[in-house]
Structure 1
């Protein structure tokens, strides 16, 4: 049995125990990499959690993270302080408080080396020393963490083409052209789904968007399961790189969110200077921006977006042409068929040049708020599809919106409340029918004379002429306001 003490005794890892000497006998089941501030949805009992502490920003951040590990029953936390000037004291204190062994990873030791060595140790402890094929797969995973290289080696060892497929339907990597829409035949919950001579296996790992390993043989065997595990580890490492890239983009995203200058931050982001940018803003269940960011990165993977989190929002910046909202909508449809999504709202703004990025960000924010108001589980709204009057109404602060609605419509709202009428709705239909009494009467299923009487009464109550164009604009904008 592999224990935390076993890992400490592997000389090439050079792990150093910082706290938890009384818990070294805990059994280790596998290794899992995460940089989420709240990993509670993804970690499980017996895991050694490997982290570069990218989630740590200030004293106090360690408490929730380590508490989540303790609740899940993880075996230990292996942490590198290379990006934080050493392991912060509150991480050590939190691990001591929650009785989580803390292993310090040398700054010059890559996570790939740790992962390979731990996987080998776990395999040997289970009484099945890796075969030559397994060792070659491990070597491919360690020497070149790119999935294409790993899958090429996997196809050689398995003697069959294989692919990694995203739950969105995207082909992440593969050794040939896969059958069309293979993901649609996967049955969630099964270890292996066989369809038309192809085996589909979940890659594993607690990611927002699942990945599948597809092999062109009906009985893939243990070696395919080993390949799926190595794909999981490669994905975890790639996700860590993505999060580090997102961290580098934070100054730009923060400037866009706050309305500050973007020049220097844009230059440092790596985005091209001569290309228009689309801004996408997403909100996911439980107000979890890290989850929303992961989904954005996966939904827009082919666009190579710059993804990051500011406050409660996840942002993606996409350079160049492309209908990415349409692509995201198609991907979400496929994903929802595989795993029922509880809620995901997405808005976009732009495209815009560097000088117009603030406006594009505001447009994306109004679009995602409109998506939320629609009430559906999955809603996507592109800024360019929002009418100008809707954008203007959405852009006002809540206090101003309430004030305008009451000032313009107050007498009409009070009359409807007192008399049980619905003149507000009548006025809105009338204006949306281009002030045509005939069209409005038809839409409301009333006689045209009744319609004219109601509009006259509403004009009297409001003290305005509802046939005047400027007045109509003011009243209609007030009718659009929701607070």
Structure 2
């Protein structure tokens, strides 16, 4: 909005006194002041309204106008209600500093001028901002990849005075128009975002409103949020609409950053598939290099799965990328996400992942997340690391914590040994020992597999096994005898007990 537009508004009846050559200046906002030097409250582009209360003698006009000019004010509108005029010394000071001066009629209140100007500014800026947001959405959709969110948030902050930030559910600031206000912790905002029953939500302390980015399509624990200064319930309909538009822009930008369908994402998926299928190092190492990882580095494998079905596989993949300290290579195996990332030998990845995931536990109270972390290995040992991480993840699934991370150091030695055995060998070993029992159970409902597992868990104690299964000791003896007959093994021998123990772990 330009100063010249004010002179055409019949409800205001403003008149230009001096500075006609500056009437094309743009008005960014309107401020009323009675201070002799209001420069500390000005940032440039304002229309300043004053009743000249600050004027004690003619020399004050020079001080006042000089302060306005230094602050970059667009124009001055004035009227001395008591004197009934605009003093010549103020006119001369405005002429000297090339400051456009408008006369406000006695019968027009400054509040009326303010309300009129603000209304026109808001309407014009809303239209301009909506157009910019629409253009940016097109850019995000593919016309010009990589524009990012910062320009849009800066525009919102500059033209509407509404500072905004995009923050993940873990408290990472993705983009922002300004630095976060003092005392505002993004981790605390994320905690409120995950736990509040309804969104949008206003935090009274820092006076910040929180909005979800994609509540209809994304679980909150995997979603991003937009944090805006101010109370959203007091906003106009236009500003609320712009917030919804901004959320759509952020959702599109996040979708653009998802690399599942990119060349990099497909290479990662193929690499994980080859490792799980026990491909040779001559196949794995070249693909590892294609993903951008250094074959000379040391690596950790991470396996993650959601419990309760709250996270879809794509969301799990996104969340795993968010919680890991460096950009990983990630692939999906049904409902399980597997990641590989380079780390130093002394890096405690499991501890770091657990600490990060604790911030997400409030958003996982109805389900859970199980994560397994392998030991640090060379590139040629990735298959064992992936198997180790998957075993650790299965162990984590058996625990009750909403978020559970199991590291390689919690795995028994036999698990580490099994992780390095080829799949076909493990399958043959398991089938040879347990399939006769499974088949018998299916036909006779004899529960031999459960009896065998309980017997081994109790170190071959007939009495404790019978108590745990709520059976007579003789019934347990009969079942164990049937197991030995079907498998040709002797459960009094340590070697046969170990074989059954390992076969059950492989099942």
For 2:386, the equivalent position in structure 1 comes to 361
- Give the conservation status (yes or no) of the 8 Å contact 2:429–2:503: no
Structure 2: gaps spanning 5 or more residues: 1-122, 468-475
1:213 deviates by 0.9
Instruction: Identify the match of residue 127 of structure 2 among 108, 122, 131.
Output: 131
Aligned with 2:371: secondary structure? Answer: strand
Spell out, residue by residue over 1:209-254, the C-alpha distance to the aligned partner (whole angstroms, 9 max, x if none): 1111112323484144443332222212222577553123333223
Partner residue, 1:263: 285
In the alignment, which residue of structure 1 is the partner of 2:210? 200
2:317 aligned partner? 293
In 2, the alpha carbon distance for the partners of 1:406 and 1:251 equals 32
What secondary structure is seen at the aligned counterpart in 1 of 2:360?
Answer: helix
Larger mean CA deviation between 268-277 and 316-325 belongs to 316-325
Kindly state the Cα deviation for residue 163 of structure 1 after the two structures are TM-superposed. 2.2
Report how far residue 262 of structure 1 moved.
0.9
Q: Which string of whole-angstrom CA distances, capped at 9 and with x for unpartnered residues, describes residues 297-325 of structure 1?
A: 3333x422222335664332222245444
Report what 1:190 is aligned to: 199
Q: CA RMSD in A?
A: 5.0
SS in 1 for 2:252: helix
Separation in 2, partners of 1:227, 1:185: 21
| Match among 137, 146, 149 for residue 147 of structure 1 | 149
Contact 1:145 1:234 in 2 (8 A): no
* Alpha-carbon distance in structure 2 between the residues aligned to 1:194 and 1:287: 27
Q: Measured at CA, do residues 341 and 279 of structure 1 come closer, stay the same or move farther in structure 2, by a change above 3 Å?
A: farther
1:158-194 superposed Cα distances (whole Å, 9 cap, x missing partner): 4354322222333333433742512222324323333
Number of matched pairs: 343
1:391 CA displacement: 4.0
| Match runs of 1:43-122 below 5 Å | none
Q: Which of 335, 342, 355 is equivalent to 2:360?
A: 335
SS where residue 204 of structure 1 aligns? coil
Larger Rg: 1 or 2?
A: 2
Unaligned 5+ segments in structure 1 are 1-126, 446-453
Q: Closer, same or farther in 2 for the Cα pair 1:147/1:342, shift >3 Å?
A: same
Contact 1:343 1:377 survives alignment (8 Å): yes
Q: 1:318 to 1:393 in 2, by over 3 A?
A: closer
Q: 1:184 to 1:291 in 2, by over 3 A?
A: closer
Distance verdict in 2 for CA 1:424–1:379, change over 3 Å: same
CA distance in 2, matches of 1:192, 1:129: 25
Structure 1 residue aligned with 2:225: 212
Give the TM-score taking structure 1 as reference length: 0.54
Aligned counterpart for 2:256 among listed residues 234, 237, 242 = 237
Partner residue of 1:306 out of 311, 329, 341: 329
TM-score (norm 2): 0.52
Query: What is residue 471 of structure 2 aligned with on the other side?
Result: none
Would you say the 8 A contact 1:278–1:350 is kept in 2?
Answer: yes
The whole-number CA distance in structure 1 between the counterparts of 2:323 and 2:329 is 12
